Amino acid sequence: MYRTLVDPATLARHLDDPRWVVIDARHDLLQPSWGEEEYREEHIPGARFLHLDRDLSAPKTGRNGRHPLPSPAAAAATFGAAGIDDGRQVVVYDQNQGAYAARCWWMLRWLGHDAVAVLDGGWDRWMREQRPITAEVRPVVPAKFRPGELLPVVGSNEVLANVASRASIVLDARSPERFRGEAEPFDPVAGRVPGATNRPVGRNLAKDGTFRPAGELRAELEAMLGSGDPGQVIHMCGSGVTACHNMLAMEIAGLPGGRLYAGSWSEWCADPSRPVATGA
Residues involved in catalysis: 237
DSSP string, 89-144: EEEEE-SSS-HHHHHHHHHHHHTT---EEEETTHHHHHHHTT---B----------
Distance CA 263, CA 152 (A): 14
Residue 64 amino acid letter: N
CB 216 within 8 A of CB 185: no
CB 236 within 8 A of CB 243: yes
CB 186 within 8 A of CB 29: yes
Distance CA 63, CA 279 (A): 25
Give the CA radius of gyration of the chain: 18
Residue 17 amino acid letter: D
CB 150 within 8 A of CB 110: yes
Long-range CB contacts (within 8 A, 24+) of 129-132: 129/8, 129/9, 131/8, 131/11, 131/12, 131/44, 132/12, 132/15, 132/44, 132/45
